[in-house]
Structures are given as C-alpha cells and as structure tokens.
Structure 1
C-alpha cells in the first residue's frame, strides 16, 4: 500500500460509484492505472466490498441507542456474540474495558421496539443488567467497513 492506494480508498469511501477516470484525475493516475490498483486491492482483500448505505430513518430505524451490557460472572465473547446476534436490532457490538462487559449499538423503529429489543437482550441468563443512552443527534459518523 502506498499513498496512491490510500488516496483511491479515501475517494471510494466518499463515493463508491466514482469512475476510475474521476479518481485518476484527482490523484494523478490514468483510469486504467486506477482500475489495476482497485483490482489488486480487491484481490488482496484490502477492499472487501462495494456497498450502498441507506439512511436508517428511511429504512424505518429512526431510534438509536448505545447500550452498556453488564454480565453475571465471566461470559465469553462467543457467548455474547450468540446472544446479541439473535436480536436483529443490534447493529454493532464490542467487548470493552471498564465496568461494562460490552457496548451495543441498537437501532429500532421507535421507543417501544427499542424497549422490546432491550428486553430480549436482558433475558439472556448471563446478562445482569443494561444501561442505555438514546441518541439525540449524530455529530460525526465515519464508516470503515
């Protein structure tokens, strides 16, 4: 990976539909050179997918919360993954340091459906309790996957 590869990736992050010629004009390469580099980045699995991101509000997922998950005893990441994967409203989850065992990003239609999703998480035998923060407005969002 060199600076040209990073430039290509940055431009594709901004617009995955950008043409090779447009990208090349911005970073100083021909369209065919950009295509070769993109093909190599895909083959090397540096670029894993080209995708569409739909506004969650348009998709019916206007309510968003971050949930701290506190477990009883020691729970493996695989067990947490199994529990959280069963709840479709869970968008992202990670184990963390600190008092909580995991942080969970949840999106739902509305507050009642958020409450329902939280209840499905809380009933897992290894979950002791949760602490939620409902998102009021997004300030910065960058997607890296």
Structure 2
C-alpha cells in the first residue's frame, strides 16, 4: 500500500459514498486510477466493505459501554468464543496490561445492560471485569 492508497482510504473513511470523480480530483489522479485502486484494495481484502455509521443518539441500542475483562490462565480463546455469542457484545478487542479483552457493549436500557453483565460474568474463565458506560460522544 502506498501513499495514494492511504489517502484514498482516508477519503473513503470520511465519505464512503464519494463519487469516483470527486475522489480523483481530491487525490489529483485520473478516475481510472481511483477505480483500479479501489478494485485492487477490495480484491486483496484491504477494503472489506462499506457501511453506514449512525449518530449514537439515533441508534436503537443507544446505551453503550466498554467492558474490560481479565481472563484466567490460557482461557482467552474460550472466553472470546463465548463473548462472540453474547448479543450485547458489539465488538471484541485484545489488549495488553492488566486486562486481556475489551468488549464494546450495547443495550437499550440499564436493565438490558444489567442482564448482559450478569450473563457475561458467568462465563467460565472470566476472573474480573470492569465496565464503564459511555455518556457522551464527541467524535464518531
């Protein structure tokens, strides 16, 4: 991946619906160059899709949180498999330091969060969790 590819990806992150013509103009290249690069980036798996991002206040599951998870011994893979099956888990990340996993959670109410937290804490291999509700979003 070169600088033009990185600049193209940055533009697409800002507006994935931008026209090829506007992308070409912003990059200072021909439209065919943009089309070829987008096709190559998709073919090699660099770009895996395009999506819609909603403002947090219009999402159905408006309540969001980050849960940090400490895992016993070498049970990280088993815990990740279990968390993938939890409906409240929107994304999972490995991390370093005190915690092993960071889970992004979504729920439609505090009661929904409470139920999800109770289910997650019962997963074998989880030794400790800490959850922080996200109160405001300043950039998305």
TM-score normalised by structure 2 residue count = 0.88
The 4+ residue runs of structure 1 with deviation greater than 6 A are: none
- Post-superposition Cα deviations, 1:99-118, rounded to whole Å, max 9, x if no partner, equal 22322111111111011111
Tell me, yes or no, if structure 1 residue 98 matches structure 2 residue 97.
yes
Give unmatched runs, 5+ long, in structure 2: none
* Equivalent residue, structure 1, for 2:129: 130
* Equivalent residue, structure 2, for 1:121: 120
User: Alpha carbons of 1:106 and 1:24: their partners in 2 closer, same or farther (altered >3 Å)?
Assistant: same
* Equivalent residue, structure 2, for 1:2: 2
Instruction: Tell me the CA shift for residue 125 of structure 1.
Output: 2.4
Residues 47-62 of structure 1: pairs in structure 2 closer than 5 A: 47-62=47-62
CA distance in 1, matches of 2:109, 2:63: 5
* Equivalent residue, structure 1, for 2:109: 110
Tell me whether 104-113 or 86-95 shows the greater mean CA deviation: 86-95
Tell me, yes or no, if structure 1 residue 86 matches structure 2 residue 59.
no
Tell me whether 125-134 or 59-68 shows the greater mean CA deviation: 125-134
Contact 2:70/2:100, CA 8 A, preserved across alignment: yes
CA distance in 1, matches of 2:62, 2:79: 25
- Post-superposition Cα deviations, 1:4-59, rounded to whole Å, max 9, x if no partner, equal 21121111111111111000111111212211111111112221112222334423
- Provide the alpha-carbon RMSD of the alignment: 1.7
The number of equivalent residue pairs is 140
CA distance in 1, matches of 2:13, 2:22: 14
SS at match of 1:83: helix
